[in-house]
Amino acid sequence: DTGVSQDPRHKITKRGQNVTFRCDPISEHNRLYWYRQTLGQGPEFLTYFQNEAQLEKSRLLSDRFSAERPKGSFSTLEIQRTEQGDSAMYLCASSLVGGFAEAFFGQGTRLTVV
Amino acid sequence: AQKVTQAQTEISVVEKEDVTLDCVYETRDTTYYLFWYKQPPSGELVFLIRRNSFDEQNEISGRYSWNFQKSTSSFNFTITASQVVDSAVYFCALTEVTSGTYKYIFGTGTRLKVLA
């Protein structure tokens, strides 16, 4: 296990379709985060899990977005009824529990809604 | 409210020049952490350094050095003798402790171009 893995790397979808992304964190990491990054901006926090519990959600996360982390291992982020404004890079990160350990990021899933 | 400002949108230097990337932060917390990440063209954010609010010692790691000054709420990053491989977008980030949230607040990043 060499790092955080995200799948797919790229996704093109038509407006109105549902999409699901997967993140596999570093195996011993209990915390898992989702961020969204648009062109020319820094990553924006969406949500985070500690083990299987979703402990915080950003106001950016509308009702069309849902994230899960069953069994505290991999996580999925689903976007329903996609809109053009959802086009962005979706980044997953993981970290150890305990203080503010640094987060390790995956390479992201680039979503394009046409 | 917490905020991170990276006023330099893009910097271009010639190889071997020194370059400093600025980061100014805002927080009401007395306990917080600051980070620098590098994002090369491949897209993956690479961790560079973490600093907590009680440790104002400057740090040097090879060609990289960081200057943390609480008095000016700044956490600047200097690359000495820059190389083409340093070309990337660099992000400064803040995490507050007291709020109990573990989210990172990122700046908008500084794109560094090192020309051969």
Q: For the residues A83-107, what does the mean pLDDT come to?
A: 90
Give the pLDDT band of residue A99 (cuts 50, 70, 90). low
Per-residue model confidence (pLDDT) at position B20: 98
**Residues in chain B with pLDDT < 70?**
none
Determine whether A66 is exposed, middle or buried from the number of CB atoms within 10 Å of its CB (0-12, 13-18, 19+): middle
Q: Over the stretch A29-64, which tens digit does the pLDDT of each residue have? A: 999 999 999 998 999 999 999 999 998 899 878 899
Per-residue model confidence (pLDDT) at position B17: 97
Query: In whole angstroms, what is the distance from residue A95 CA to residue A101 CA?
Result: 6
- Token reading at B84: 């083409």
Query: In whole angstroms, what is the distance from residue A105 CA to residue A35 CA?
Result: 10
Give the pLDDT band of residue A1 (cuts 50, 70, 90). low
Per-residue model confidence (pLDDT) at position A71: 86
Q: Are B41 and B111 in contact (CB under 8 A)?
A: no
For chain B, which residues lie within 8 Å of any Cβ of chain A, measuring from their own Cβ? 4, 33, 35, 37, 42-47, 50, 52, 91, 93, 95, 97, 101-109
Pick the more confident residue, A82 or B30: A82
Asked whether the beta carbons of residue A107 and residue B37 sit closer than 8 angstroms, the reply is no
